[in-house]
Structure 1
Amino acid sequence: MADTNVSHPTNYGSVQSSVQESHAPENLPTSPLVKREVGLHRGLSSRQVQMIAIGGTIGTGLFLGTGRSLAQGGPASMLICYSLVGFIVYITLLLLGEMATQYPVAGSFNAYTTRFFSPAYGFALSWNYWFNDAVSVASDLTAAQLVLHFWTSWNPWVISVVFWVFLVSVNAVHVRAYGELEYWLSSLKVATIVVFILVGILVNVGVNSEHRYIGGSNWRIPGAPFVGGFGGFARVFVTASFAFGGTESLGITAGETKNPSKNMPRVVKLVFWRIMIFYILSVLLIGLNVPWDYPNLSNRSTTTSPFTLVFKEVGSNVAASFINFVILTSVLSAGNHALFAGTRVLYGLSVATPPQAPRIFSWTTTRGIPLPALFLTSSISALCFGSSFIGSGVLWGWLQNIVGVSNQIAWLSIGLSSWRFRKAWVKQGRPLEELKFRAAWTWPWGPPFVVFSVTTLIIIQGWSSVIPTFSVVDFLSFYIEIPIMLVMFVAWMIIKRPRHTGILPSRQRRSPSSDPLAPPRQAPRNQQFWYSDLVDTKTVDLYTDEYVEVEGDKVDDEQRRKRVEGKGGILWKFYYWVV
Structure 2
Amino acid sequence: MSTRTAASPPRRHPRSEPDEMTALLAEPVDDVDAEHAPKDPVPPARAGLRRELNARQVQMIAIAGTIGTGLFHGTGRSLATGGPASILICYAFVGGIVYTTLLLLGEIATQYPVAGSFNAYATRFVDDSYGFALSWNYWFNDAVSVASDLTAAQLVIKYWTDWYPWVLPLIFFVFLLSVNAFHVGAYGELEYWLSSLKILTIIAFILVGILVNAGVNDEHHYIGGENWRIPGAPFHGGFGGFATVFVTASFAYGGTESLGITAGETSNPSKNLPRVVKMVFFRILLFYILSILLIGLNVPWNYPDLANKSITTSPFTIVFKRVGSNGAASVMNAVILSSVLSAGNHAMFAGTRVLYSLFLAKQAPGLFARTTVRGVPLWSLLATSSISLICFGSSYIGAGELWGWLQNIVGVSNQIAWFSIGLSSWRFRAAWVKQGRDLSELKFQGARWTWGWGPPFVVFSVAALIIIQGWSSVIPHFDAVSFVSFYIEIPVMILFYAIWKFVHRNPLVDLATIDLLTDEYVETPEELERDAVREARLEGKWRHGWRAYYLLA
Give TM-score, length-normalised by structure 2. 0.94
Tell me the equivalent position of 1:529.
Answer: none
Pick aligned residue for 1:493 from 492, 497, 501? 501
Does residue 1:368 correspond to 2:375, yes or no? yes
SS of residue paired to 2:43: helix
Tell me the equivalent position of 2:115.
Answer: 106
Does residue 1:406 correspond to 2:413, yes or no? yes
Pick aligned residue for 1:121 from 130, 151, 167? 130
Tell me the equivalent position of 1:378.
Answer: 385
Rate the CA distance shift 1:34–1:295 in 2: closer, same or farther, 3 A: same
SS of residue paired to 2:260: helix
Rate the CA distance shift 1:31–1:296 in 2: closer, same or farther, 3 A: closer
SS of residue paired to 1:129: helix
SS of residue paired to 1:571: helix
Contact 1:398 1:474 in 2 (8 A): yes
Alignment of 1:525-544 (within 5 A): 533-544=507-518
Contact 1:39 1:368 in 2 (8 A): yes
Counterpart Cα distance in 2 of 1:309 and 1:31: 55
Tell me the equivalent position of 1:392.
Answer: 399
Identity of aligned residues (%): 70
User: After alignment, is 226-235 or 384-393 more displaced?
Assistant: 384-393
Q: CA deviation at 1:27?
A: 5.9
Q: CA deviation at 1:97?
A: 0.5
Does residue 1:51 correspond to 2:60, yes or no? yes
Rate the CA distance shift 1:323–1:416 in 2: closer, same or farther, 3 A: same
Counterpart Cα distance in 2 of 1:258 and 1:297: 43
Amino acid at match of 2:431: A
**Which has the higher Rg, Structure 1 or Structure 2?**
1
Contact 1:97 1:437 in 2 (8 A): yes
Amino acid at match of 1:367: R
Does residue 1:557 correspond to 2:537, yes or no? no
Pick aligned residue for 1:460 from 440, 461, 468? 468
Tell me the equivalent position of 1:508.
Answer: none
Rate the CA distance shift 1:457–1:430 in 2: closer, same or farther, 3 A: same
Counterpart Cα distance in 1 of 2:38 and 2:262: 29
Tell me the equivalent position of 1:448.
Answer: 456
Residue by residue over 1:14-62, the C-alpha shift from the partner in whole angstroms, topping out at 9 and shown as x without a partner, is: x986662251533679999737621000000000000000001000000
Tell me the equivalent position of 2:264.
Answer: 255
Instruction: Show structure 2 runs of 5+ residues with no match.
Output: 11-20
Does residue 1:75 correspond to 2:49, yes or no? no
Rate the CA distance shift 1:11–1:382 in 2: closer, same or farther, 3 A: farther
SS of residue paired to 1:56: helix
> Paired residues, what number?
535
Alignment of 1:175-254 (within 5 A): 175-254=184-263
Contact 1:302 1:393 in 2 (8 A): yes
Counterpart Cα distance in 1 of 2:360 and 2:552: 36
Tell me the equivalent position of 2:17.
Answer: none
Tell me the equivalent position of 1:425.
Answer: 432
Does residue 1:350 correspond to 2:359, yes or no? yes
SS of residue paired to 1:172: helix
Counterpart Cα distance in 2 of 1:568 and 1:19: 36
Counterpart Cα distance in 1 of 2:521 and 2:333: 43
Residue by residue over 1:163-214, the C-alpha shift from the partner in whole angstroms, topping out at 9 and shown as x without a partner, is: 1100000000000000000000000000000000000000000000000000
SS of residue paired to 2:217: coil
Q: CA deviation at 1:248?
A: 0.3
Amino acid at match of 2:160: W
Contact 1:73 1:228 in 2 (8 A): yes
Q: CA deviation at 1:160?
A: 1.4
Higher helix share: 2
Tell me the equivalent position of 2:16.
Answer: none
Root-mean-square deviation (CA, aligned residues, Å) is 1.8
Does residue 1:10 correspond to 2:19, yes or no? no
Amino acid at match of 2:78: S
Counterpart Cα distance in 2 of 1:420 and 1:31: 31
Tell me the equivalent position of 1:144.
Answer: 153
Counterpart Cα distance in 2 of 1:275 and 1:149: 28
Counterpart Cα distance in 2 of 1:48 and 1:85: 25
Contact 1:55 1:334 in 2 (8 A): yes
SS of residue paired to 1:408: helix
Give TM-score, length-normalised by structure 1. 0.90
Amino acid at match of 2:367: I
Counterpart Cα distance in 2 of 1:167 and 1:92: 29
Q: CA deviation at 1:565?
A: 1.8
Task: Find runs of 4+ consecutive structure 1 residues off by over 4 angstroms.
Answer: 15-19, 27-33
Rate the CA distance shift 1:218–1:441 in 2: closer, same or farther, 3 A: same
Rate the CA distance shift 1:493–1:349 in 2: closer, same or farther, 3 A: same
Counterpart Cα distance in 1 of 2:321 and 2:279: 33
SS of residue paired to 1:311: helix
Counterpart Cα distance in 1 of 2:242 and 2:30: 48
Tell me the equivalent position of 2:479.
Answer: 471
Contact 2:99 2:281 in 1 (8 A): yes
SS of residue paired to 2:182: coil
Residue by residue over 1:222-251, the C-alpha shift from the partner in whole angstroms, topping out at 9 and shown as x without a partner, is: 000000000000000000000000000100
Contact 1:19 1:42 in 2 (8 A): no
Amino acid at match of 2:359: S
Counterpart Cα distance in 2 of 1:435 and 1:28: 28
Contact 2:395 2:402 in 1 (8 A): no
